[in-house]
Homo-oligomer: A and B are copies of this chain.
Amino acid sequence: MTCLCQQLAGDDIELSPVCIGNHWIFKNLEPDEIKALSHDAMRKKLTKGQALFLQGDPADEMFLIKGGHIKLSKVLEDGTELMLDIRKAGDFVGENMFSEESLYPVSAFCLEDTLTCGFSRSQFEALVLQYPRVGLRIIKTLSERISSLTDRVGSLAASNIEDRLYRVLCNVAKEHGAKSPQGIVIQFPLTHEDLGFLTGAHRVSITRAMKALKDSGKILFQGRRLILPTLKMA
């Protein structure tokens, strides 16, 4: 099945092989269903730094990420920014559309050039009603997101920064890492400032903690890529 996304993306964006037509969520759909869905999906091409949606926007759309990484962040009452999550090609963003609140509680920014497929809430509900198995798959996806967030909460509860940082790195590696002979490699660069947002710590404290982790052998560097040698993939 040729994919409309490919034409839209051009050569700039390295697309995930996962497409709405072949994503596991939609397996077992009838060919004409896929065609209809694929046609309806609202594609968006975004460049690095652009927002897919902003905190406070009406939440009535959910997106499948076709290529690139997207960060979810939130601005707290006191004005500080907090990065909540990083999602990659093949993941969904905007699952908040299902909940009672009608506004996105977070903002989604592209870390690279990105292509997304969007679905409206009503489209989705109709699909689930017609194909209950899709509903079960969504339930599974959301359930895994809950597990991951629960881990995240566990990471943040460590009271000293070094442990907190290490646990956050492990979580990131588990979700976005790739195996290599030396350990799990995190595939994209994270600045100390990013990690500061992820751990809720000051940038300088991250630098201190990184040095400590490096000295104790818990992390390695391969160029600018971070490696966790002791971590095992789940």
Contact = CB atoms under 8 A, between A and B. Distances in A.
Interface of A: 74, 76, 78, 82, 84-85, 95-101, 105-106, 125, 128-133, 135-136, 138-140, 142-147, 149-154, 156-159, 163, 197, 199-202, 234
A98 B140 contact: yes
26 contacts: A76-B157, A76-B158, A78-B163, A95-B146, A99-B143, A99-B147, A100-B140, A100-B144, A105-B151, A106-B150, A128-B132, A129-B132, A132-B135, A135-B136, A139-B142, A142-B146, A145-B146, A146-B149, A149-B149, A152-B153, A156-B157, A156-B200, A157-B197, A158-B200, A159-B200, A159-B201
Closest 3 CB pairs of A and B: A135-B135, A157-B200, A98-B143
B154 A96 contact: no
Nearest to A199: B157
Contacts of A197: 157
- Please classify the interface of chain A as helix (H, G, I), strand (E, B), loop, or mixed, using the class held by over half of its residues: helix
Scoring A101, A146, A159 by chain B CB atoms within 10 A of each residue's CB, the highest score goes to A146
A139 B139 contact: yes
A219 to B, nearest CB: 17
Nearest to A164: B200
A85 to B, nearest CB: 8
Given A95-B143, A149-B153, 4 more contacts: A99-B140, A128-B135, A139-B142, A146-B146
Nearest to A201: B159
Nearest to A200: B157
A84 to B, nearest CB: 6
A197 B157 CA distance: 8
Contacts of A152: 149, 153
Contact of A133 (B129, B154, B200): B129
A65 B168 CA distance: 32
Contacts of A82: 153-154, 157
Contacts of A105: 147, 150-151
A151 to B, nearest CB: 8
Nearest to A97: B143
A156 B159 contact: no
